[in-house]
Amino acid sequence: MTLIAAIQATSSDDIDHNLETVAGFVESAKTEGAELVVLPECFALMQKSHAQLRACAETHGEGNIQDFLEQLSRELGIWIIAGTMPIRSNDPGRTFNTLLVYDDKGVNLARYDKIHLFDVELAAGEHYRESDYTMPGSRCVVQDTPIGRVGLTVCYDLRFPELYRKLSAMGATSMVVPSAFTVSTGKVHWMPLLRARAIENSCYIIAPAQTGKHTSGRQTWGHSLIIDPWGDVIAKRKAAPGVLLGEIDHGKLERMRAQLPSLSHRRDELFN
């Protein structure tokens, strides 16, 4: 078994404060024995404006946020799957919403740019146009970690099961879903979608989330979860920021996949 942690946060537009808060949570997770920690979407910045997002974006491989992640993972000796942060693209008006993976020596091993962008019109005038300021990613990514091969996804990706099927075919035994789900969609769709992705891919799901009211005025659902391959919730946190701990049981995963070998029953030739 491997102990892992998911961090739930109420990030603001103050990067320094957000990073200080994250550092405290990661230190607590390490003290509890976690070998790997996953941060939520927008852990470093919940921007007040698109202009602030662009101004705070970093070049991949350099910048204060990335220096912080490198130092924290190295000094604590812990793997960090870093929710998302803004990374510059070739379009000056749009940044990538990027997840980075650091090993316990502070080495950045993987990058995933959020593929699916949240362009929706919800009830009561609530609307989002993520594509106005975000460049979509174009690559599916898995990374070997202490808990096996991890598929990397972010928030709105959760609604696209074909992505998770692809990551499963790439060997993922766990998937991360760092998120900033809205309250209106979170209260009805968050749990069912996460459990479905775990069940249909016989994998662990680790879903750290933003929670509460942010300085931008936005409200997020929280309810971070860790779910096993049978679809059972093994750890959850409701509204408060903090650390969520859960064990990844490799033997349990192998037994579940042997008992119900749906992955080997796929008829890919009919659907590709």
How distant is the alpha carbon of residue 67 from its chain centre? Answer: 20
Place of tokens 């550092």: 23
CATH number for 54: 3.60.110.10
pLDDT at 123: 78
Residue 266 lies inside a defined structural domain of this protein? no
Q: Model's pTM, two decimal places?
A: 0.97
Q: Which of 35, 42, 58, 114 is catalytic?
A: 114
114 is catalytic: yes
The stretch 176-191 carries a mean pLDDT of: 97
Question: Using alpha carbons only, what angle is made at residue 194 by residues 190 and 199, rounded to the nearest 5 degrees?
Answer: 150
What is the distance between the alpha carbons of residues 228 and 263, in angstroms, rounded to a whole number? Answer: 16
105 is catalytic: no
Q: What is the extent of the structural domain holding 156? A: 2-259
What is the distance between the alpha carbons of residues 189 and 209, in angstroms, rounded to a whole number? Answer: 14
Question: Is the confidence at residue 125, as pLDDT, over 80?
Answer: no
Mutual angle of helices 15-31 and 64-76, in 10-degree steps: 10
The tally of domains found in the chain comes to 1
For residue 159, what are its two tokens?
């609604």
pLDDT at 122: 84
Residue 270 lies inside a defined structural domain of this protein? no
Residue 134 lies inside a defined structural domain of this protein? yes
Question: Is the confidence at residue 142, as pLDDT, over 90?
Answer: yes
The stretch 2-7 carries a mean pLDDT of: 98
41 is catalytic: yes
Residue 272 lies inside a defined structural domain of this protein? no
Lowest mean pLDDT of 51-60, 121-130, 165-174, name the range: 121-130
Residue 81 lies inside a defined structural domain of this protein? yes
For residue 58, the 8-state DSSP code is B
Contact between residue 33 and residue 1 where contact means Cβ atoms under 8 Å apart = no
Nearest to 172 by CA among 261, 81, 253, 83: 253
- Phi, psi dihedral angles at 166 (to 5 degrees): -65, -45
Q: Which of 30, 35, 41, 42 is catalytic?
A: 41
The stretch 255-267 carries a mean pLDDT of: 94
How do strand 127-129 and strand 224-227 relate by DSSP bridges?
unpaired
